[in-house]
Amino acid sequence: MAIVTPTTPTTATAVHAATGVLSPPSGVTRVFDAVELERYERDGFAIARGLFSAAEVDALRAHYMRLRTEGSYAGDFAGVALPAAAGQATAGAVSVVDPKPDPLVKYPRMIHMHRWDDISLRWMIDPRIATALRQLCGVDPYAVQTMMYFKPAGARGQAMHQDQFYLRVQPGTCMAAWLALDPCDEDNGCMKVVPGTHNLPILCTERANTVESFTDTTVPIPPGKKLVPVIMQPGDVFFFNGSLIHGSGPNFSTDRFRRSLIGHYITGHAEQVAKFYHPIVRMDGSTVELAVSERGGPCGRWVDDDGEVVELYDPAVRPEGPEHE
């Protein structure tokens, strides 16, 4: 594909370009009821069902499919290479290359689209998302990243991880807004989370199974915690805390995408965030200057509910990067 060199949008041009794609209602003052807010405090996530309309979802899906077919962009990522054993079969003494190519090569993840795509910028700072984050965090958020995952049939998922491992927000944490553009279920690799892990510190990473994950690091699931699927319909937005352990399995379907549009945010009282996420955008589209956070203290150590010190340690910690869903 051709390499596309986009231009940087302004807020004014973004408003114009997003007309006909996004239709936020005026005067949005509340997204979540008391039940969802309670769930967020308890579990570390909340779901805004139908936050975006079917027409908006259709338009966004068509927009990103068009961008994907038009070329490649800075930051496109198809994942780490499949292990040799996953891509080859042995017939006697002859190695036979598996005829099935990695579908993520054709549909790599896109990143930071808001820096050059008007529609992505308007979606990232949409008032519905701003209101939801304000309800969950209690302060106005800053926006730092957009991502688009296509996840076609047969694609690998992403091993369990914490977003805060990458963003390193100080003080406070990061937040994600994860918009489903397709029905998301266990067959096509829906998001999975470990409820209640949002109060944990950053955990130390381990090597992931790259046959099933397009990234090669993961974190352990603490004893007594369970992994649960997040079933979603197009237009639903899944909001979650940056320390929440989450990821997804492979797309086992034969003919279905699991497309999702993702924004990452930091709480408005933050003073630092990792360099990869600069420049930082207020929810009115203006920019704000914050310091660059360096990697913090030791990972994988906390006190559990019984007062016992728990340590999960692996020295092979990955450097800063955008490998998170």
pTM, two decimals, is 0.85
Q: Are 244 and 110 in contact (CB under 8 A)?
A: no
Written as six digits, the tokens of 203 are 């955990």
Cβ contacts of residue 25 below 8 Å, gap of 6+? 128
Domain presence at residue 254? yes
CA distance from start to end of the chain: 24
- In DSSP terms, 191 is beta-bridged to 248
Identify the burial level of 309 via C-beta atoms within 10 angstroms of its C-beta, where 0-12 means exposed, 13-18 middle and 19 or more buried. Answer: exposed
pLDDT of residue 322: 54
Domain presence at residue 75? yes
pLDDT in tens, 287-316: 999 999 976 444 544 434 454 444 443 434
Task: Please state whether the peptide bond connecting residue 195 to the residue before it is cis, i.e. omega within 30 degrees of 0.
Answer: no
pLDDT in tens, 7-51: 555 544 444 456 679 999 998 999 999 999 999 999 999 999 999
Reduced 3-state DSSP string for the chain: CCECCCCCCCHHHHHHHHCCCCCCCCCCCCCCCHHHHHHHHHHCEEEECCCCCHHHHHHHHHHHHHHHHHCECCCCECCCCCCHHHHEEEECCEEEECCCCCHHHCCCEEECHHHCCHHHHHHHCCHHHHHHHHHHHCCCEEEEEEEEECCCCCCCEEEEECCHHHHCCECCCEEEEEEECCCECCCCCCEEECCCHHHCCCCCCEECCCCCECCCEECCCCCCCCCEECCECCCCEEEEECCCCEEECCCCCCCCCCCEEEEEEEECCCCEECHHHCCEEECCCCEECCEECCCCCCCCEEECCCCCEEECCCCCCCCCCCCCC
- Can you say how many angstroms the Cα of residue 203 is from the centroid of all Cα atoms in its chain? 18
pLDDT in tens, 199-212: 999 999 999 999 99
pLDDT in tens, 48-67: 999 999 999 999 999 999 99
Domain presence at residue 99? no
Phi and psi angles of residue 7, each rounded to the nearest 5 degrees, phi first = -100, 160
Written as six digits, the tokens of 181 are 């553009």
pLDDT in tens, 84-115: 755 444 334 444 445 478 999 999 999 999 99
Domain count, the chain: 1
CATH number at residue 249: 2.60.120.620
Q: Which amino acid is it at 89? A: A
- For 278, other C-beta atoms within 10 Å of its C-beta total 13
Domain presence at residue 126? yes
User: Domain limits at 239?
Assistant: 11-21+37-80+109-311
Domain presence at residue 96? no
Distances (CA, A) of 268 to 28, 60, 134, 140, 174: 19, 27, 9, 5, 10
pLDDT of residue 83: 85
Domain presence at residue 128? yes
Domain presence at residue 161? yes
Domain presence at residue 89? no
